[in-house]
Structure 1
Amino acid sequence: MDAKNILCEINEGVAVVTVNRPESLNALNSAVLAELECVLYGIEQDQTVKAVILTGAGEKAFVAGADIKEMAPMTSFEGHRFAQQGQRLVLFIEKMTKPVIAAVNGYALGGGLELALACDVIYASENAKFGFPEVTLGIIPGFGGTQNLARLIGPNRAKELVFSGRIITAAKGLEWGIVNELTPLPELKEKALGLAREMAKNGSVAVGYAKNAIVNGLNMTKEDGFRYESSLFGVLFATEDQKEGMGAFVEKRKAKFQGK
């Protein structure tokens, strides 16, 4: 697919993926969702990529939400199908074997916040804003927002944000545990790149398994999560990266991981 609304740069094992519709504050429509899913699928298959940064073009918005002009005339069936398309993208990001960092450079509202919540880490600029204004439009978050936000910050905080349609500051997002770290806007990309490079230098198989353990473990009982973790731990001892990593430690040299 020729991605007209998505930019992708790959350097030193890090893919920077940018939603590029600044004229509409990077709003998500069906075409953008399809392009983003296609680009991320290609990145998932690319063994040279070890970490991903997801951001938005310009200085005003990460993604200001779903495209209301496209949604307004939708039938019930079309609305359901649109939500399923967004959820498929969110679930794909959550299940990617590579860590995904959201670099939130402005408004992350509605579908934009849902996109950020699907990522493993959220770094935000000090001018960022977060919220689910869907109820002010007569709908609810449809790309997994009600589920992911409640799991991240607890049901009471999630209800407060979703039921009110309120937009909160980046500082409040940090206080509530939505954001990992705040940074001035000019420093945001480099800050995200620093973390991505730090992740990329590690054993990529192990990083992918760690993500798998955390994401899937959240849907298990604690005991089942422990069992799942130990099984993944054991499997890693059959990998070349484990041999290289531990061998390098014993030999007091830098490990050269191959992702195998």
Structure 2
Amino acid sequence: MSASERQGEVRYRAEGGVAHLTFDRPAARNAMTWRMYEELADGLARIEADPAIRVAVLRGAGGRAFVAGTDIEQFVGFSGEDGVAYEIRIDSYVAALERVRVPTIAVVEGLAVGGGLAIANACDLRVATPGARFGAPIARTLGNCLSPANLRRLTATLGLSTVKRMLLLADMPTAESLEPLGYLVAIESPETLDACVVQICQRLISHAPVTMRVTREMLAALALDPDADGSAGIRTCYGSLDFAEGVRAFLDKRPAAWSGA
């Protein structure tokens, strides 16, 4: 196995307004190395810089896992201060994913564990195959903990009771059990996965980019402060060319031609 294969990579591909970020280290169930985290950050920066991108899809290679956490070998010799630095570093990557300007979709086959759960959870939407499992069973494996920021994120999407079960009982709930919570779309069979992802991407691409961006920014702000001021976002939305176009298109009884401006 080459050094590149051992370290893995996050491959970037853009097509039809969709950026595809693929976690490619299937021999290790796509467990993240430092190199892969940096390449994830690079991919997000490419999305930010390319106005043609309207949606981002994150997926693991190999069909057995989305991301099976961080590579455990990287924790050898860790001290308490190393742990603090690590959690700060991981928070920065997850926060960058949350802040990316376009809607994000996590496509989960197999496992989304630890850091993989954090990445999938930071996406706006999740699509999962039957039997896919989500969790951070660190109470029975590594004996580490999650940062307050990632606990807040998980609690916001899954609820306090589910997060406690995941972390204290080391539960790994299935996609089917999480779908009623609104956490994801659990497809009927693996064969329909790609078609489902394409359909969701097409729906997102057909919607007003400014509306989606402002809505995502407001929701992120409200997660930190229930009294967050949304006036800047409201001003941006109502003052946009897209809003004027939407009003004209509605009155003309035609589809709106969104520009994202």
Residues 174 and 182 in structure 1, CA contact (< 8 A), matched pair in contact too: no
Q: Which residue of 2 aligns with 1:173?
A: 178
Q: Which residue of 1 aligns with 2:71?
A: 67
**Equivalent of 2:137 in 126, 133, 137:** 133
Greater shift in the superposed pair: 178-187 or 199-208:
178-187
> Using the alignment, how far apart are the partners of 2:115 and 2:60 within structure 1?
13
> Using the alignment, how far apart are the partners of 2:256 and 2:183 within structure 1?
34
> Using the alignment, how far apart are the partners of 1:205 and 1:176 within structure 2?
27
Residues 61 and 108 in structure 1, CA contact (< 8 A), matched pair in contact too: yes
**Equivalent of 1:145 in 138, 146, 150:** 150
Amino acid at match of 2:108: V
Residues 84 and 143 in structure 1, CA contact (< 8 A), matched pair in contact too: no
Q: Which residue of 1 aligns with 2:257?
A: 256
> Using the alignment, how far apart are the partners of 1:114 and 1:196 within structure 2?
22
Q: Which residue of 2 aligns with 1:39?
A: 43
> Using the alignment, how far apart are the partners of 1:59 and 1:109 within structure 2?
15
How far did 1:86 drift?
1.2
Match of 1:58, SS state, is coil
> Using the alignment, how far apart are the partners of 1:200 and 1:187 within structure 2?
20
Q: Which residue of 2 aligns with 1:236?
A: 237
Residues 14 and 20 in structure 2, CA contact (< 8 A), matched pair in contact too: yes
Greater shift in the superposed pair: 115-124 or 129-138:
129-138
Residues 107 and 128 in structure 1, CA contact (< 8 A), matched pair in contact too: yes
Q: Which residue of 2 aligns with 1:213?
A: 218
**Unmatched tracts of structure 2, length 5 or more:** none
Match of 2:139, SS state, is helix
Match of 2:187, SS state, is strand
Amino acid at match of 2:256: A
Amino acid at match of 1:139: N
Greater shift in the superposed pair: 134-143 or 55-64:
134-143
> Using the alignment, how far apart are the partners of 1:173 and 1:122 within structure 2?
11
Q: Which residue of 2 aligns with 1:30?
A: 34
**Number of aligned pairs?**
255
Percent of residue pairs identical: 27
How far did 1:246 drift?
1.6
TM-score by length of 2: 0.90
How far did 1:178 drift?
3.2
> Using the alignment, how far apart are the partners of 2:170 and 2:224 within structure 1?
27
How far did 1:152 drift?
1.8
**Unmatched tracts of structure 1, length 5 or more:** none
How far did 1:112 drift?
0.5
TM-score by length of 1: 0.90
Match of 1:218, SS state, is helix
Using a 3 Å threshold, how does the CA distance of structure 1 residues 97 and 250 change in structure 2: closer, same or farther?
Answer: same
The alignment's C-alpha RMSD in Å is 2.1
> Using the alignment, how far apart are the partners of 1:245 and 1:47 within structure 2?
20
Whose RCO is larger (CA < 8 A, sep 6+)?
Answer: 1
How far did 1:14 drift?
1.1
How far did 1:193 drift?
2.1
Greater shift in the superposed pair: 45-54 or 4-13:
4-13
Using a 3 Å threshold, how does the CA distance of structure 1 residues 95 and 183 change in structure 2: closer, same or farther?
Answer: farther
Residues 175 and 186 in structure 2, CA contact (< 8 A), matched pair in contact too: no
Using a 3 Å threshold, how does the CA distance of structure 1 residues 253 and 110 change in structure 2: closer, same or farther?
Answer: same
